[in-house]
Chain A
Amino acid sequence: MGILEVKGINKRFGGLQALGDVNLSVAENTVHAIIGPNGAGKSTLLNVLVGKLIPDSGSVMFDGQSVLGRQPYEINQMGISRVFQTPEIFGDLTVIENVMIPCFAKRDGAYRLHAWENTRNEKAIQEQAEAILADVSMLDKRNMHAASLSRGDKRRLEMAMCLVQEPRLLLLDEPTAGMARADTNNTIDLLKEIKEKRDITMAIIEHDMHVVFSLAERITVLAQGTPLVEETPENIKGHPKVREAYLGEAQV
């Protein structure tokens, strides 16, 4: 029984079957990649997982609880964090403030009227935030404006914001899309490092085979809205079905 269980998801947009009977099981403490050619339904699936889209049928269970019909913030409170294709951070705030907000959200829940305390006096939160910044080696940039960071640092910061909440599942939506090769490798290293340091489950939606084969322990191949195979990376490479549906267009 995986930590994330997706069963029989269907989603139609007008005449287009975006997802057809998707079943997926992500085991705890693994890195699970979901790949597929453009238009295979990867983004739709992700949007279902984070509560942005409600499927026509099927169920999504996270740790025994249904995810469907919940707001993104509720799903986050259940223990799922999300990394976006382009880093989504609080550009107007400083780096440390960026990390403190998820700390508050983790400690105080979705809403708390703490209008009278001083943020500076929240020592525990500060320490937590500094620790995670040290983890992604950004402590020296703690007082910088987040908007002025380089793209790679923004990615690190976003990662830190997700990790500081100690999520049980980290969803990554094409974390290296549009990156130069060097940046991509940095991101891969960062993710590997993260994986080594803590117990965490990751689900990666990815287009770049290099990233997928560097990180993933299980791979699900999606084609035309349906999962084709679910296998280990070694077995995927030579899989005839995958070759037919996917690898025909890009050699690995």
Chain B
Amino acid sequence: MLGLNAKDTSLFIVVIIMVLAAPILLNPFPADSALAQFNAGYPALMQRFLIFGILVVGFNILFGLTGYLSFGHAAFLGVGSFAAVWMFKLLSFNVIPAIILSIVVAGLFSVVIGYVALRRSGIYFSILTLAFAQMMYAIAYSDLVGKFLGTIITNGETGLQVYLDDPQILAGAGDPRVPHLFGLEMNSQTVWSVGGWEFVFQNGYYLCAVFMIIAFYMSIRIFRSPFGLVLRSIKSNQQRLNYTGVSTRPYMLTAFVISGMYAGLAGGLWSAMDPLTGAERMFWTASGEIVIMAILGGVGTLIGPILGAGAIKYMENIVSKINDNILHQWFAFMPEGIENFMVAIIHPFIGKGWHLTLGVVFMAVVIYLPGGLVELGERFIGLFRRKKTDNAPTGASTKPAE
């Protein structure tokens, strides 16, 4: 189907179903139950899943296929966000021109940055992308371009947003005063109550969902194409590739620009969901977070980036909500001494300690599970399969686990 083989088609269909049904699937607990805090099926969080999913899917085309570790990818996210808000300010709150421009602008930036950064490889490339991103962050944070031109471009610390006196030349009189898709407001939602459950279907979420599906489909096509094969060979042995008659730099630049445009799309969508954008989206810890998502999910795999982005954003949300009271409830069945001890041990990792959890999980993944969640899943399946074949009467020799 759609030029994909059977395996990829089924993966694609699973992703489509997961994305479309997420408002139901991620809301397994009734709204008034104690476990409702573990629900992830509310629009603000689900949007994040998809926006970061798109971002990491794009990042994976660069890092996963070619092995070039960009430490400044958040810069393109930021550029896309600012471009989208500028479209809101100048044209109208319609999200389509905004998203198109954010992809285009991020693409242009990635052509320039990629052209320079790709003249070096390895650690130099990482540091160059980091340097570019930090420079762009500094420029955006202090609105240096704006100051230089004597106007406002990023609006510095305050962040860029739409004001009433902005031109909005294409805005009609009756248009909504929030981002919309030809009148369909992004933040309006339908709530479906079944029994104790409440499922929220939001327009904005489904806009993100459509883009996520397209973005994921394109990433499968790229992975399975000759282009993707060449990118993987860059990661494997660049020297051989050069002596095979392939000019690596244009391939790298293409991959870099594609992934930059993915980041731009993510930025544009983010602004469409939340039209107040600031420079902090470009800070290098944000770039680091993208890398973490990719690694946690499984670098170089198709589904990994989505899993990684979802897992990190979900954990961030849940872990920062847990407090000592909740912990005490959990460990209430234990004798009091042990209960307090457990709470004391876990305390630094919850609430504001989310980044500590993140760092520890990240290190653990890099050390023990370089293939991320996808590898974990494969190991589980492998275990299961091995047991089956062990019991099989054929007595066929099975390969030992590594």
Chain A proximity mask over B205-248: 1 for CB below 8 Å, otherwise 0: 00000000000000001101111111011011101111111111
Enumerate chain B residues within 8 angstroms of A246, measured Cβ to Cβ.
none
Enumerate chain A residues within 8 angstroms of B132, measured Cβ to Cβ.
none
Q: How far, in angstroms, from A118 to B3 measured CA to CA in the complex?
A: 7
**Contact A102 to B245, CB < 8 A, known contacts A97-B229, A119-B226:** yes
Q: How far, in angstroms, from A10 to B229 measured CA to CA in the complex?
A: 40
**Inter-chain contact count A-B, CB under 8 Å?**
111
Closest to B253 in A: A111
A104 lies within 8 A of chain B by Cβ: yes
Give me the interface of A with B, judged by CB distance under 8 Å. 50, 71-74, 76-77, 81-82, 84, 88-93, 97, 100-102, 104-106, 108-122, 161, 165
B5 lies within 8 A of chain A by Cβ: yes
The smallest C-beta distance from B147 to any residue of chain A, in angstroms, reads 39
Enumerate chain B residues within 8 angstroms of A71, measured Cβ to Cβ.
242, 247
Q: How far, in angstroms, from A120 to B5 measured CA to CA in the complex?
A: 9
Most A CB contacts (10 A, CB to CB) among B4, B5, B241 go to B241
Q: List 17 A-B contacts (CB under 8 A).
A: A73-B248, A76-B244, A90-B236, A93-B233, A100-B229, A101-B230, A106-B245, A110-B245, A111-B251, A113-B227, A114-B225, A115-B222, A118-B3, A118-B225, A119-B226, A121-B3, A161-B240
Enumerate chain B residues within 8 angstroms of A118, measured Cβ to Cβ.
3-5, 221, 224-225
B254 lies within 8 A of chain A by Cβ: yes
Enumerate chain B residues within 8 angstroms of A121, measured Cβ to Cβ.
3
Q: How far, in angstroms, from A105 to B250 measured CA to CA in the complex?
A: 14
A115 touches B245 (CB 8 A): no
A88 touches B227 (CB 8 A): no
Enumerate chain B residues within 8 angstroms of A100, measured Cβ to Cβ.
226, 229
A119 touches B229 (CB 8 A): yes
The smallest C-beta distance from B62 to any residue of chain A, in angstroms, reads 13
| Chain B positions 1-42 with a Cβ under 8 Å from a chain A Cβ | 3-5
Q: How far, in angstroms, from A89 to B241 measured CA to CA in the complex?
A: 9
Q: How far, in angstroms, from A16 to B233 measured CA to CA in the complex?
A: 37
Enumerate chain B residues within 8 angstroms of A97, measured Cβ to Cβ.
229, 232-233
Enumerate chain B residues within 8 angstroms of A111, measured Cβ to Cβ.
246-247, 250-251
Closest to A92 in B: B236
B230 touches A76 (CB 8 A): no
Enumerate chain A residues within 8 angstroms of B237, measured Cβ to Cβ.
88-91
Interface size on B, residues (CB 8 A): 31
**Contact A114 to B244, CB < 8 A, known contacts A88-B239, A90-B237, A92-B236:** no
Counting from the closest, the 4 A-B pairs by CB-CB distance are A76-B245, A110-B247, A105-B245, A115-B227
A101 touches B227 (CB 8 A): no
Give me the interface of B with A, judged by CB distance under 8 Å. 3-5, 221-222, 224-230, 232-233, 235-237, 239-248, 250-251, 254, 258
B246 touches A73 (CB 8 A): yes
Q: How far, in angstroms, from A57 to B228 measured CA to CA in the complex?
A: 40
The smallest C-beta distance from B31 to any residue of chain A, in angstroms, reads 45
Q: How far, in angstroms, from A118 to B232 measured CA to CA in the complex?
A: 15
Enumerate chain A residues within 8 angstroms of B235, measured Cβ to Cβ.
92
Closest to A121 in B: B3
Q: How far, in angstroms, from A150 to B330 measured CA to CA in the complex?
A: 55
Which of B243, B247, B254 lies in contact with A50, CB distance below 8 A? B243
Q: How far, in angstroms, from A76 to B239 measured CA to CA in the complex?
A: 12
A101 touches B229 (CB 8 A): yes
* Known A76-B242, A110-B247; 15 more pairs at CB < 8 Å: A84-B243, A88-B240, A88-B243, A93-B232, A100-B226, A101-B244, A102-B245, A108-B226, A110-B250, A113-B254, A114-B226, A114-B227, A115-B258, A116-B225, A119-B225
Enumerate chain A residues within 8 angstroms of B236, measured Cβ to Cβ.
90-93
The smallest C-beta distance from A65 to any residue of chain B, in angstroms, reads 15
Q: How far, in angstroms, from A221 to B150 measured CA to CA in the complex?
A: 72
**Contact A92 to B245, CB < 8 A, known contacts A115-B227, A117-B226, A120-B224:** no
The smallest C-beta distance from A55 to any residue of chain B, in angstroms, reads 19
The smallest C-beta distance from B1 to any residue of chain A, in angstroms, reads 12
Enumerate chain A residues within 8 angstroms of B251, measured Cβ to Cβ.
111
Closest to B247 in A: A110
Enumerate chain A residues within 8 angstroms of B240, measured Cβ to Cβ.
84, 88-90, 161
A161 touches B3 (CB 8 A): no
Closest to A164 in B: B244
The smallest C-beta distance from B120 to any residue of chain A, in angstroms, reads 16
B247 touches A161 (CB 8 A): no
B245 touches A77 (CB 8 A): yes
B225 touches A105 (CB 8 A): no
Which of A84, A105, A114, A119 lies in contact with B246, CB distance below 8 A? A105
**Contact A82 to B247, CB < 8 A, known contacts A90-B237, A117-B225, A119-B226:** no
